[in-house]
Chain A
Amino acid sequence: MSLNQLTIQQAHKGLKNKDFSAGELTEAVLEQIKKRDKDIGAYLTVTEDLALEQAKKVDEKIKKREEIGVLEGIPVAVKDVILVEDVKCTAASKILENHIAPYDATVIKKFKKAGAVIVGKTNLDEFAMGSSTENSAFGITRNPHDLERVPGGSSGGSAAAVAANECIYALGSDTGGSIRQPASFCGVVGLKPTYGRVSRYGLMAMASSLDQIGPITKTAKDAKIVLEAISGKDGLDSTSVEFKNKFQVSSFKLQDLKIGLPKEYFIKGLDPEVEEVIKKAISKFEKMGAEIIEVSLPHTEYALAAYYIIMPAEVSANLARYDGIKYGLSEKGDNLLEVYLKTRQHGFGSEPQRRIMLGAYALSAGYYEAYYLKAQKMRTLIKKDFDEAFKKVDVIMTPVSPTPAFKIGEKIDDPLQMYLSDIFTVPINLAGAPAVSIPCGKVGQLPIGLQIIGKHFDEEKILDIAQAYEDFTS
């Protein structure tokens, strides 16, 4: 096994035992990027110097027999919508093509303090808008399991980088499924934490009532390690909350576990082969002693519609800042209005433009109540559905996506078809709950992800359950 294939846990153990150095580990990852990324296209920027410099610092510490932290010296890839000071951050958009981040995001500050080795910035759908990473202004990313297929999105670069061993782990962001769906398509673990668990300071905002940063890793245990490192209240993100920062081993027993299967998720439109893989995975939990209970989330079919009002409305407000005045692309014009119009016409790709217009429409005079307010009321009903279900069960399990990774180009010309690939992930963002995607089987050579959804702030539990599944099936 080469070093770049290791998990965080394995790499940490190796560094501590001096089986290899942080420099060697980082070199192995950089080597793999050079070898493999021509085909995959996971990275937009590789920060080789920054990475090697940081690895060297860790090696000096190890030489001096100092204790090292669990992320210290371990190479991580960061979605290119999270700021790393003095490194280009583009959001995969022409409007930020030459944008140099003036400060670190809070998660990056935490990483740097923990001694993490940042190897580069990964590709995404422009401003995290999309489900295939085809909307990037700087080229597509390919699925490492089948180069003719998409890696999912919008954190497609991060998921592909982990799957292709071009890093040890990665960070993504998830507004409607953007961590879980690519994790599912690429056969890796992806966690969307509870809304508020991780500070978004320094994450380019898309839809602020939904956005969360989370880890993409090779194992559930690794996801837990990363979550512990990045979570907590931050004065710079007023939506972040303090929650017992002690990460204990949760005390549940699988024999006492009640798993809910929402009938609204096993419907026409779910690929029968995907359904078979999911059902088989769930039957393994039954074998481990868990009880499977059918539950109902009656407003599921309205979640995507509510999402496609709330999200674009927030997008239209958040993307107003890209105006050609403060930073980014600035087109010339005879007056201020012309500068705005031209900058945003030439800087944004068609998906952000579509969502900005949709949001502006939904918020415009005379339509606010019919659209935005209506959608927010629906959001209340969706949240209540989950509250009711969680009175009966500990966790809920569903597919992550109705299909395996689709072919490049298959859905790019039909926005609505593309949106439908998030039908099983969007409701969880609306409810603010945590959910993890774990690999649970394959259709042909294409990985399938199982989604485990928990109550608010129950990340430890869903990750322990994920780990129990990994242990049982390995």
Chain B
Amino acid sequence: MKLSKQQVEHVAKLARLGITEKEKEKFGKELSSILGFVEKLNEVDTKGVEPTAHITGLQNVMREDRAGDTNREQREKILKLAPKRRDGYVKVKAIL
């Protein structure tokens, strides 16, 4: 498995990761080598095997859909972490 430069660029974009030309080459090589290693999985026939997503078998853990108590102090602490804020909201750049 060898990742082309275009594939590396594509994956970096999917991951919203800026990378330099030099890094494209470095990551290309490293990712190819790791993907080569995981090819090993193809030695085993897994037809009919159920995939495991959760190991202790829990399913659909529910809670009541109700708003909790508001904690002003904590809300303020969390908002304070945002790089940009306005009127008690986190400010985001325009998307369109």
A362 CB, nearest partner CB in chain B, Å: 9
Would you give the 0/1 interface string for A370-400, flagging 1 where the beta carbon is closer than 8 Å to chain B?
0101111111110100000000000000000
8 Å CB contact of A364 from B14, B44, B92, B95: B14
The answer to whether A309 touches B38 (Cβ under 8 A) is yes
8 Å CB contact of B46 from A235, A340, A377: A377
Interface residues on B, range: 35 or more
- For window 222-243 of A, CB contacts with B under 8 Å fall at 235, 238-239, 241
Q: Which residues of B contact A333 (CB under 8 A)?
A: 93
The answer to whether B41 touches A380 (Cβ under 8 A) is no
CB closest residue in chain B, given A236: B63
The answer to whether B31 touches A361 (Cβ under 8 A) is yes
A118 CB, nearest partner CB in chain B, Å: 18
Docked Cα-Cα span, A358 to B14, in Å, equals 11
Q: A209-B53, A336-B93, A381-B46 are in contact. Are A238 and B61 (CB under 8 A)?
A: yes
Docked Cα-Cα span, A336 to B91, in Å, equals 11
Would you give the 0/1 interface string for A240-281, flagging 1 where the beta carbon is closer than 8 Å to chain B?
010000000000000000000000000000000000000000
The answer to whether B34 touches A358 (Cβ under 8 A) is yes
The answer to whether A326 touches B93 (Cβ under 8 A) is no
The answer to whether B15 touches A357 (Cβ under 8 A) is yes
CB closest residue in chain B, given A342: B18
The answer to whether B27 touches A308 (Cβ under 8 A) is no
- For window 38-67 of B, CB contacts with A under 8 Å fall at 38-44, 46, 49-56, 58, 61, 63
Is B33 an interface residue, CB under 8 A from the partner? yes
Q: Could you list which residues of chain A lie within 8 angstroms of chain B, going by C-beta atoms?
A: 99-100, 102-103, 194-196, 209, 235, 238-239, 241, 299, 301-302, 304-306, 308-309, 316, 320, 323-328, 330, 333, 335-337, 339-342, 344-345, 348, 353-354, 356-361, 364, 371, 373-381, 383, 415-416, 419, 430-432, 456
B49 CB, nearest partner CB in chain A, Å: 4
The answer to whether A378 touches B90 (Cβ under 8 A) is no
Max count, chain A CB within 10 A of own CB: residue among B7, B44, B53, B77: B44
The answer to whether B19 touches A345 (Cβ under 8 A) is yes
The answer to whether A209 touches B14 (Cβ under 8 A) is no
Q: Which residues of B contact A348 (CB under 8 A)?
A: 17
The answer to whether A305 touches B81 (Cβ under 8 A) is no
Interface of A is mostly: helix
8 Å CB contact of B33 from A301, A305, A327, A416: A416
Q: A102-B77, A337-B16, A344-B18 are in contact. Are A325 and B52 (CB under 8 A)?
A: no
Docked Cα-Cα span, A78 to B49, in Å, equals 40
The answer to whether B17 touches A339 (Cβ under 8 A) is no
Not counting A330-B83, A336-B94, a sample of 6 additional A-B residue pairs whose C-beta atoms are within 8 angstroms of each other reads: A209-B55, A309-B41, A323-B16, A354-B30, A361-B31, A383-B55
Q: Which residues of B contact A239 (CB under 8 A)?
A: 54, 56, 58, 61
Q: A357-B27, A415-B34 are in contact. Are A378 and B46 (CB under 8 A)?
A: yes
8 Å CB contact of A354 from B27, B37, B41: B27
A242 CB, nearest partner CB in chain B, Å: 11
Q: Which residues of A contact B41 (CB under 8 A)?
A: 302, 305-306, 309, 374-375, 378
8 Å CB contact of B58 from A241, A344, A376: A241
Docked Cα-Cα span, A348 to B39, in Å, equals 27
The answer to whether B58 touches A380 (Cβ under 8 A) is no
Q: Which residues of B contact A328 (CB under 8 A)?
A: 81
Closest 8 CB pairs of A and B: A432-B55, A345-B18, A376-B51, A341-B18, A330-B83, A327-B81, A238-B61, A377-B46
Would you give the 0/1 interface string for B8-27, flagging 1 where the beta carbon is closer than 8 Å to chain A?
10111011111100000001
The answer to whether A325 touches B82 (Cβ under 8 A) is yes
Docked Cα-Cα span, A96 to B23, in Å, equals 23
CB closest residue in chain B, given A196: B56
Q: Which residues of B contact A419 (CB under 8 A)?
A: 34
Docked Cα-Cα span, A376 to B44, in Å, equals 13
Docked Cα-Cα span, A194 to B50, in Å, equals 22
A62 CB, nearest partner CB in chain B, Å: 31
